[in-house]
Amino acid sequence: METQRLDAVADITMGQAPEGESYNLDGEGLPLIAGAGDFGELHPEPKKFTTAPGKTCKAGDVILGIRATIGEKVLADGTYCLGRGVAGLRAKTGLDERYLWHWLTHTAPILAAKAKGATFKQVNREDIGELRIALPPSLPEQRRIAEILDKADALRAKRRAALGQLDSLTQSIFLDMFGDPATNPKGWSDAVLGDLIFSASDGPHVSPEYAEDGIPFLSTRHVRAGEITWDDLKFITPEDAQVHWRKCRPERGDLLYTKGGTTGLAAAVTTDRPFAVWVHIALLKPDPRKVDSLWLETMLNTEFCYRQSQVLTHGIANRDLGLTRMVRIKLYRPPLQEQKRFVGRLTVVAKLKTTHGIALAKLDALFASLQHRAFRGDLKLGLGEVPEETRDVGS
């Protein structure tokens, strides 16, 4: 297939930060996509608005993460203001939008490798525009490839949806056993986060020097609600880790709680694997006489606690949930025996999540193989066909 520069077949709009006084939470102006933290599963999920939008996109454009989290993308379902952490891509005549969408997934690692910067890695317009896109000469052929990839990707989406429902089940079990924390209908003892932990600390306020291997160094993108991910890791030397651990050393039973950028997400440490954390992650040391760490993880991830964390988060460009503020988060405290009964139920859910996670990993591998074949011109399936092994794994 012929290759062309991306900027020859797509318009690229680099985002820019609106004036600070234009930001609001009241829905005035356009929704703002500041970075990948405002991305949903498929479409944007903005948190702020601006009355002074600079760069914008429209429905159908691809919004691409270009700062910190590079290569992630969502599809615009309306008009948005593009902040400096994103760029908008719009297919020109001769390029199918869905083909562009899938090609961007395929080429994301190449784009990420172009990133530069000490604190926040980012790419510029030329980095994006010079990417070479393998382009079948006809739109029907592009659409044929996109349709095959769409069908395979839909199977992955179903598996992810099943995992999402299991996550919702955890919250449903929690609410059934303990009631809505906002109203506390069962009259559990009131508390604040600081009452249930020995300490709250964060990583050193210095930029690390990364190594080829060594001790994993986690940033906020590795902490999700109820999960620590180990993908796309960076490393520091054991010597540097010792410096970080003097202030903040994660251990099994601790909680990681995001306090910078995307704030208010909690995940329990369930491994003995040594690692260090960035300054934007708080390390909570629960008091086992008062609280089970997995119960506290679920409590902090309730909508009630998450809303409090957002109110307590200060700053616009550099959002931070300070340690002295986070320990004031209100919650309730059922008896420890009841907390452990809840954790016992989570064990069943965890086993189901493991099963679905393994199946999703197989689907991801098969999808990557399809992409590789598609963009080297070797995807010879007929319209609407998907390899049988892909269908079997997704069933």
- Residue 385 is predicted with a pLDDT of 47
Query: What Rg do the C-alpha atoms of the chain give, in angstroms?
Result: 23
Q: What is the mean pLDDT of residues 63-84?
A: 94
CATH number of 189-333: 3.90.220.20
Q: Check if the beta carbon of residue 256 is closer than 8 Å to that of residue 229.
A: no
Distance CA(341)–CA(200), nearest Å, equals 26
- Residue 247 is predicted with a pLDDT of 85
pLDDT band, residue 366 (cuts 50/70/90): confident
Closest CA to 281 of 248, 303, 327, 251: 248
Q: What is the mean pLDDT of residues 94-99?
A: 95
Distance CA(66)–CA(252), nearest Å, equals 34
Q: What is the pLDDT of residues 337-363, one digit of tens each?
A: 999 999 999 988 888 888 888 988 888
Superfamily of domain 2-135: DNA methylase specificity domains (3.90.220.20)
Q: Is the pLDDT of residue 224 over 80?
A: yes
Q: Check if the beta carbon of residue 134 is closer than 8 Å to that of residue 48.
A: no
Q: Locate 192 and state its tokens.
A: 């604040």
Q: Is the pLDDT of residue 14 over 70?
A: yes
- Residue 175 is predicted with a pLDDT of 94
Q: Is the dihedral of CA 151, 153, 159, 165 positive or negative?
A: negative
Q: Is the pLDDT of residue 92 over 50?
A: yes
Q: Locate 131 and state its tokens.
A: 């990417």
- Count of residues in the chain: 395
Q: Is the pLDDT of residue 69 over 90?
A: no
- Residue 392 is predicted with a pLDDT of 46
Q: What is the mean pLDDT of residues 177-191?
A: 96
- Residue 353 is predicted with a pLDDT of 86
The Cα-based distances of 151 to 74, 100, 142, 145, 384 in angstroms read: 18, 16, 14, 10, 8
Q: Check if the beta carbon of residue 332 is closer than 8 Å to that of residue 188.
A: yes
Q: Is the dihedral of CA 291, 295, 300, 304 positive or negative?
A: negative
Distance CA(138)–CA(144), nearest Å, equals 10
- Residue 246 is predicted with a pLDDT of 87
- Taking the mean position of all CA atoms in its chain, how far away is CA 281? 15
- Residue 22 is predicted with a pLDDT of 92
- Residue 267 is predicted with a pLDDT of 97
The predicted model scores a pTM of 0.60
Q: Is the dihedral of CA 325, 326, 329, 333 positive or negative?
A: negative
Q: Check if the beta carbon of residue 81 is closer than 8 Å to that of residue 54.
A: yes
Q: Are strands 234-236 and 215-218 parallel, antiparallel or unpaired?
A: antiparallel
Q: What is the mean pLDDT of residues 261-282?
A: 94
Burial of 234 (0-12, 13-18, 19+ CB in 10 A): middle
Q: What is the pLDDT of residues 303-324, one digit of tens each?
A: 999 999 999 999 876 788 999 9
- Residue 108 is predicted with a pLDDT of 93
Q: Please identify which residue in the block is written with the tokens 């909690």.
A: 266
Q: Are strands 215-218 and 223-224 parallel, antiparallel or unpaired?
A: unpaired
**Among residues of the chain, what percentage have pLDDT more than 90?**
69
Q: What is the pLDDT of residues 135-158, one digit of tens each?
A: 988 999 999 999 999 998 888 888
- Residue 380 is predicted with a pLDDT of 65
Contacts of 2 (CB under 8 A, 6+ apart): 134, 135, 137
Q: Where in the chain is the domain with CATH 3.90.220.20?
A: 2-135, 189-333
Q: What is the pLDDT of residues 110-134, one digit of tens each?
A: 999 999 987 778 999 999 999 999 9
- Taking the mean position of all CA atoms in its chain, how far away is CA 308? 20
Higher pLDDT pick, 54 / 203:
54
- Residue 96 is predicted with a pLDDT of 95
- Residue 34 is predicted with a pLDDT of 93
Burial of 215 (0-12, 13-18, 19+ CB in 10 A): buried
- Residue 383 is predicted with a pLDDT of 39
Distance CA(217)–CA(243), nearest Å, equals 13
**Among residues of the chain, what percentage have pLDDT more than 70?**
96
Q: What is the mean pLDDT of residues 180-196?
A: 96
